[in-house]
Amino acid sequence: MIAIGIHGGCGTLPVEMMSTAQWDEARAHLGDALRAGWALLARGAPALDAVEAAVVVLEDSPYFNAGYSCALNTDGEHELDASIMDGAALRAGAVCAVRRIRNPVRAARAVLDHGASVLLAGSAADAFAQAQGIAMVEPGYFTTERQVLALARLKARAEDGTIAMAGEAEKHGTVGAVALDALGNLAAATSTGGFNNKPAGRVGDTPVVGAGIYARNGVCAVSGTGQGEVFIRLVASYDVAARMMYARQSLESAANAVVHDALSAHRIGAGMVAIDAAGKVVTPFNTIGMYRGWVTTEGDLTVASHKEEHRLGRLVR
Ligand code: ASP
């Protein structure tokens, strides 16, 4: 039995803010990410490989706040965070505040495989990735006009006191993937540029095990999106697993309770993709939309950005 789920962040723009062609392309990229992960799972590859491959596709897309076209901090610079976790042995790898790694999730995977640490930070993490032969870029690679405009808008709002009126999409986003492989292993990966106009040096929940990511065989794998400070304080991803392990809640009840009760109580936009040991995928969110998609154990592929879900057919194994 294999299955995979992804999210592209809960900071989705209102429908009228992008053209039909752009929405189509964003959804196509979600489909590409799912197919990349599924193709590996179908060949018997580990869930860890599948979530990494899916996140790489999302990092390379301009529509999501991770990798290419990610958020800018107060200094107008990019600092990216990413993580990956293996539910089989509870191994994890993460990088934070990196500036030159084209696909930060690949560096997170190298940290996991290397095994000497769980989280590497800043220029040392960049240097580690380079030494591992991972593709590096100039920081300008991540900059797009969309993010430059978003930063300018948020700085203007900060100045005129209208920051509370900023929409979720102006601020943030993240990408993530969860998967179940043929051997019953669960894995998760998360990658982000964080928040537009975030303080320089700020690290969010994405590289923090238990906060923006968690995976444990026999229970669940989770990847979160939303204001990271609250995910860290609530240990949100681990909370889904804890509810399932200790309170015997189903994946659906646990994930819904964390997003709609615990996180929503802090008045933040929040969402997650989560999968259980039977390959069931859930994608709760409390914003107007969340880029998301999944392939069921039967191979049925679905993607969505807002309420409406788009069935893209059945993948063969
Ligand atoms: N969780 C991310 C962070 O706080 C942002 C997001 O998902 O919107 O860095």
CA atoms within 13 A on the CB side of 147: 29
Q: How far is the CA of 205 from the centre of ligand 1 (A)?
A: 7
> Does the domain spanning 3-307 belong to CATH 3.50.4.10?
no
Tens of pLDDT, residue by residue over 239-272, are: 999 999 999 999 999 999 999 999 999 999 999 9
Give the pLDDT of residue 169. 66
The closest alpha carbon to 70, from 250, 191, 153, belongs to 191
Per-residue pLDDT of the chain (317 residues; tens, 9 = 90+): 999 999 999 988 888 888 999 999 999 999 999 999 999 999 999 999 999 999 999 999 999 999 999 999 999 999 999 999 999 999 999 999 999 999 999 999 999 999 899 999 999 999 999 999 999 999 999 999 988 988 888 888 888 888 777 777 667 789 999 999 999 999 999 999 999 999 999 999 999 999 999 999 999 999 999 999 999 999 999 999 999 999 999 999 999 999 999 999 999 999 999 999 999 999 999 999 999 999 999 999 999 999 999 999 999 87
Cα 195 to middle of ligand 1, angstroms: 6
pLDDT in tens, 33-69: 999 999 999 999 999 999 999 999 999 999 999 999 9
Task: Verify whether ligand 1 is closer than 6 Å to residue 59 (CB atom).
Answer: no
190 has catalytic annotation: no
Instruction: Break the chain into its structural domains and give their ranges.
Output: 3-307
Q: Which of 12, 144, 162, 174 is catalytic?
A: 174
In angstroms, the CA 218 to CA 29 distance is 30
